[in-house]
A and B are shown apart, each in its own frame.
Chain A
Amino acid sequence: MIATLVIAAFMILAMAGAIYAALVPHTLHCIIGLGLTLFGVAGIYLYLGSPFVAAMQILIYIGGISVAMVFALMLSVSLAKKMKHSEIKVILSSIAAILFLAVMARLIMTTEFPLREEPAGAAAWGVEQIGHGFLTTYSPLFIGLAICLSVAIIAAVLVARREADKS
């Protein structure tokens, strides 16, 4: 019961943060909303039996990505200030999104998912299994991800710096 309440709270937190982030005019508030959502999502992961992924979520997303965004915001002064906010665009895109949401919700509600009899045991969720999977079956994925990350970071640095040299 308590678990249900807690997870419901996390869900509401995630959804509220998302909607706040989508609609609030100010950019910084938007990032704050994103942070709230990420936090809620981390709780959901926790509930879904994956503390490691939840930890990663908090570490990388909240600790890394959100902070990087805020830094970027601070580096470019005008980004921080409130931008022109077109009401009509928000309304139109909201209509489109709600349409999408309604259709998808109907699909979700009407679909019969092949559920497992009972959730897997805690042993199957451990960090070891993840590490094992990454290093054996999914090692190409792991390596690819690593390369991708390093390339992305190097490229990001190069792009930003080359332009800096010019200016």
Chain B
Amino acid sequence: MNPAILAIVVIFTPLVAFATAMLFCMKAHRIAQGLILGGGAVSVVGAFLLLLGGPSETQSIVWLSSGSLELSFGFMFDGLSLSFGAVVALITFLVQVYSIGYMHHDPAKTRYFALLGLFGWAMLGFVYAVDLLQALIFWELVGLASFFLIGFWYEKPSASAAARKAFLLTRIGDTGLLIGILLIINISGMAHIPALLDAETGLTTMVSEGTLTLLVLLIFMGIMGKSAQFPLHTWLPDAMEGPTPVSALLHSATMVAAGVFLFARLHPLFMASETAILVVLCIAIFTALMSATIAMVETDLKKVLAYSSIGQLAFMLAALAAGGLLAGILHLILHAVFKALLFLCAGSYIHHFETNDMREIGRRGGRRMRWTTAGLVIGGASLAGLPPLAGFFSKEEVLASLSHGGYHLIWFLALFAAFLTAYYTFRMVFFIILPDRPLEADATVHDSSPVILGPIIFLTIATVLGGLILGPLAAILLLDVPHHSLLSMLPAILCALAGVFVAWWDFGRSRATRRGFVGAVPVLHRLFSRKWYVDDVYQAVFARFIQLMATVLHRVEVDLLDGGADRLADVTRWTGGWTARLQSGWVQAYIASGVVVVALAGYFLGSR
């Protein structure tokens, strides 16, 4: 089959399902659910057929041409799009299945499922996009779906506030992205991604390195917003206000990875600018360390996972910036799998215990949910980078690409971040499986329904076997599989094991203090638990600034605009009142004015 037709089916089936559900099925939850799931299934099948078909020619049509500028709409069928598209479609479908159980009692189910459909459309459209502008459109649509889904329980003030925050913070980044894209189109006169990336005639040959640095850094602003990198990361932990499946799908596995995906998509452009690489590396490694330290003291299960998402996205960006395209994409895909698994496990707990506090989940018998707990441990081990799980391979590749790129300081810091990741991941695991006091003997704890467990088990298996995709992925990306000696893997393995051990020492063993080693340094502990004061700084600086602006604008509004309108009305009323006095009722005045007018008319007409 023509891959373009297949791509249209893959991308637009969720849209059709979304539109049908929204328009006709607001009351018929089951039908809406079926529609969206059907759409998701079609997408999965289509995406995997595309993947099996292997890379093929880009296909696009020009929908707007203005002079030499041609804006096209079409699909790319390179390894990046195909592999990530398949993962997106798959995880979307799994999350939709999971949601049947998770959202079982929600009265607004149709809206929820429809929005998942909307997201599927936007995300797949973004992944296959061939044109920068097309990509931007779907990028924004993804953000829109994210906004709707974070604020899904909009009656909760915190949820709607989180949705607003996510929208505004990503907007800051997207402004840079938009400017960057417009500049690129302006400078190069094209928006067709393969043409831009062409080594002989592409953007890199047109502009100086300084200009290119500016352009890619503008685009990186958008990536920072979408992929929650410092300093635009604060929306992601708040986005955990949304339903947990949404967190699994959008805010860890796929949507936030869109930024990384865009980076991978425009990889040659970034590679052409040394400065941009350094900036990206610094931001990424700082974000990784910061998010890991915050996750070390966080007790909200979902927020720990959110911070780990931020950290892993930073890892991907670091790998890509260091030139490790395969490493970044591998981590992107495998992280999507095991992070979705972790979130779905978290959702399973939260659905059952109705709390986000992992200590309480542990105390109330979280480990008795055997399948879920198995998924959590395996997912956590993968996140920590323990062999032979998926996360081990990708993280190993990431670290190797850093060290190959010659960024040794960054490599060292990344190792430390990996250690912290293992530490806080197993802190979470030990909180849940080894609670500080014996479980009550109540038997009400039972595992979730099959529809929730199904995706978890599927993803658990995928996490275990994830490392196997390294070879095929490299093949489809037309890259070489790097070979690492056991010795070069040793630091990463040791770091992960050290992290796990320290976590066991602090939280797992029977005489553990359960305070963590940062608890010994109150200053750091306070810094971490206040999330490095980023939110407070934003609150203090931007919020106050905006408040000031608002006050000024309010004065402008009240005094200048409103007041101006009032004055205008006053003038009108006054003029009206004054001219009304001409209507004095003095007939004589009327006559006099008539006489004057006749006299003037006589003068002017008579003088002809």
* Chain A interface residues toward B at CB < 8 A: 89, 92-93, 96-97, 99-100, 102-104, 106-107, 110
Task: Please name all residues of chain B whose beta carbon is closer than 8 Å to the beta carbon of A100 when the two chains form the complex.
Answer: 595-596, 598-599, 602
Interface of A is mostly: helix
The answer for the CA separation of A107 and B602 in the assembled complex, in Å, is 8
> Residue A96 contacts which of B592, B602, B603, B606 (CB distance < 8 angstroms)?
B592
Q: Verify if B584 is at the interface (C-beta below 8 Å from A).
A: no
In the A-B complex, the 5 residue pairs with the closest CB atoms: A100-B599, A103-B602, A107-B606, A103-B599, A103-B603
Task: Please name all residues of chain A whose beta carbon is closer than 8 Å to the beta carbon of B598 when the two chains form the complex.
Answer: 100
Known contacts A96-B595, A96-B599, A100-B599, A106 near B588 by CB under 8 Å: no
- Sampled A-B contacts (30; CB under 8 Å): A89-B588, A92-B592, A93-B588, A93-B592, A96-B592, A96-B595, A96-B596, A96-B599, A97-B595, A99-B595, A99-B596, A99-B599, A100-B595, A100-B596, A100-B598, A100-B599, A100-B602, A102-B599, A103-B599, A103-B600, A103-B602, A103-B603, A103-B606, A104-B599, A104-B602, A106-B603, A106-B606, A107-B602, A107-B606, A110-B606
Task: Please name all residues of chain B whose beta carbon is closer than 8 Å to the beta carbon of A103 when the two chains form the complex.
Answer: 599-600, 602-603, 606
The answer for the CA separation of A104 and B601 in the assembled complex, in Å, is 10
The answer for the CA separation of A155 and B596 in the assembled complex, in Å, is 35
Task: Please name all residues of chain B whose beta carbon is closer than 8 Å to the beta carbon of A92 when the two chains form the complex.
Answer: 592
Task: Please name all residues of chain A whose beta carbon is closer than 8 Å to the beta carbon of B588 when the two chains form the complex.
Answer: 89, 93
Minimum CB–CB distance for B207 against chain A, Å: 78
Minimum CB–CB distance for A2 against chain B, Å: 36
Minimum CB–CB distance for B597 against chain A, Å: 10
The answer for the CA separation of A102 and B592 in the assembled complex, in Å, is 15
Task: Please name all residues of chain B whose beta carbon is closer than 8 Å to the beta carbon of A110 when the two chains form the complex.
Answer: 606
Minimum CB–CB distance for A100 against chain B, Å: 4
Task: Please name all residues of chain B whose beta carbon is closer than 8 Å to the beta carbon of A107 when the two chains form the complex.
Answer: 602, 606
Minimum CB–CB distance for A163 against chain B, Å: 22
Minimum CB–CB distance for A147 against chain B, Å: 28
Minimum CB–CB distance for B586 against chain A, Å: 10
The answer for the CA separation of A103 and B603 in the assembled complex, in Å, is 6
Minimum CB–CB distance for A86 against chain B, Å: 10
Interface string of B86-103 (1 = CB under 8 A from A): 000000000000000000
The answer for the CA separation of A167 and B148 in the assembled complex, in Å, is 82
Q: CB within 8 Å of A: which of B223-266? A: none
Minimum CB–CB distance for A94 against chain B, Å: 11
The answer for the CA separation of A92 and B592 in the assembled complex, in Å, is 9
Task: Please name all residues of chain A whose beta carbon is closer than 8 Å to the beta carbon of B600 when the two chains form the complex.
Answer: 103
Interface string of B468-509 (1 = CB under 8 A from A): 000000000000000000000000000000000000000000
Task: Please name all residues of chain A whose beta carbon is closer than 8 Å to the beta carbon of B606 when the two chains form the complex.
Answer: 103, 106-107, 110
Q: CB within 8 Å of A: which of B574-608? A: 588, 592, 595-596, 598-600, 602-603, 606
CB closest residue in chain B, given A101: B599
Task: Please name all residues of chain A whose beta carbon is closer than 8 Å to the beta carbon of B595 when the two chains form the complex.
Answer: 96-97, 99-100
Minimum CB–CB distance for B265 against chain A, Å: 85
Minimum CB–CB distance for B373 against chain A, Å: 103
The answer for the CA separation of A96 and B589 in the assembled complex, in Å, is 11
- List 20 additional contacts besides A89-B588, A93-B592, A99-B599; criterion CB under 8 Å: A93-B588, A96-B592, A96-B596, A96-B599, A97-B595, A99-B595, A99-B596, A100-B595, A100-B599, A100-B602, A102-B599, A103-B599, A103-B600, A103-B602, A103-B603, A103-B606, A106-B606, A107-B602, A107-B606, A110-B606
Minimum CB–CB distance for A98 against chain B, Å: 9
CB closest residue in chain A, given B592: A96
Minimum CB–CB distance for B589 against chain A, Å: 9
Task: Please name all residues of chain B whose beta carbon is closer than 8 Å to the beta carbon of A97 when the two chains form the complex.
Answer: 595
The answer for the CA separation of A104 and B603 in the assembled complex, in Å, is 8
The answer for the CA separation of A96 and B31 in the assembled complex, in Å, is 87
The answer for the CA separation of A93 and B606 in the assembled complex, in Å, is 22
Interface centre among A89, A92, A100, A106 (most CB of B within 10 A): A100
Minimum CB–CB distance for A108 against chain B, Å: 10
Task: Please name all residues of chain A whose beta carbon is closer than 8 Å to the beta carbon of B596 when the two chains form the complex.
Answer: 96, 99-100
Task: Please name all residues of chain A whose beta carbon is closer than 8 Å to the beta carbon of B603 when the two chains form the complex.
Answer: 103, 106
Task: Please name all residues of chain B whose beta carbon is closer than 8 Å to the beta carbon of A89 when the two chains form the complex.
Answer: 588
Task: Please name all residues of chain A whose beta carbon is closer than 8 Å to the beta carbon of B599 when the two chains form the complex.
Answer: 96, 99-100, 102-104
CB closest residue in chain B, given A102: B599
CB closest residue in chain A, given B604: A103
The answer for the CA separation of A82 and B300 in the assembled complex, in Å, is 100
The answer for the CA separation of A93 and B595 in the assembled complex, in Å, is 9
The answer for the CA separation of A58 and B568 in the assembled complex, in Å, is 61
Minimum CB–CB distance for A129 against chain B, Å: 35
Task: Please name all residues of chain A whose beta carbon is closer than 8 Å to the beta carbon of B592 when the two chains form the complex.
Answer: 92-93, 96
Task: Please name all residues of chain A whose beta carbon is closer than 8 Å to the beta carbon of B602 when the two chains form the complex.
Answer: 100, 103-104, 107
Minimum CB–CB distance for B596 against chain A, Å: 5
The answer for the CA separation of A92 and B589 in the assembled complex, in Å, is 10
Minimum CB–CB distance for B52 against chain A, Å: 100
Task: Please name all residues of chain B whose beta carbon is closer than 8 Å to the beta carbon of A96 when the two chains form the complex.
Answer: 592, 595-596, 599
The answer for the CA separation of A89 and B596 in the assembled complex, in Å, is 15
Minimum CB–CB distance for A39 against chain B, Å: 27
CB closest residue in chain A, given B601: A103
The answer for the CA separation of A107 and B605 in the assembled complex, in Å, is 10
Minimum CB–CB distance for A5 against chain B, Å: 32
CB closest residue in chain B, given A110: B606
Task: Please name all residues of chain B whose beta carbon is closer than 8 Å to the beta carbon of A102 when the two chains form the complex.
Answer: 599
The answer for the CA separation of A110 and B602 in the assembled complex, in Å, is 12
The answer for the CA separation of A103 and B595 in the assembled complex, in Å, is 11
Q: CB within 8 Å of A: which of B495-539? A: none
Q: CB within 8 Å of A: which of B189-231? A: none
The answer for the CA separation of A103 and B596 in the assembled complex, in Å, is 10
Minimum CB–CB distance for A84 against chain B, Å: 14
The answer for the CA separation of A106 and B599 in the assembled complex, in Å, is 11
CB closest residue in chain A, given B594: A96
The answer for the CA separation of A28 and B184 in the assembled complex, in Å, is 96
The answer for the CA separation of A89 and B591 in the assembled complex, in Å, is 13
The answer for the CA separation of A107 and B588 in the assembled complex, in Å, is 25
Task: Please name all residues of chain B whose beta carbon is closer than 8 Å to the beta carbon of A104 when the two chains form the complex.
Answer: 599, 602
CB closest residue in chain A, given B586: A89
The answer for the CA separation of A107 and B600 in the assembled complex, in Å, is 12
The answer for the CA separation of A89 and B592 in the assembled complex, in Å, is 10
The answer for the CA separation of A85 and B132 in the assembled complex, in Å, is 87
The answer for the CA separation of A110 and B600 in the assembled complex, in Å, is 17
Interface string of B17-28 (1 = CB under 8 A from A): 000000000000
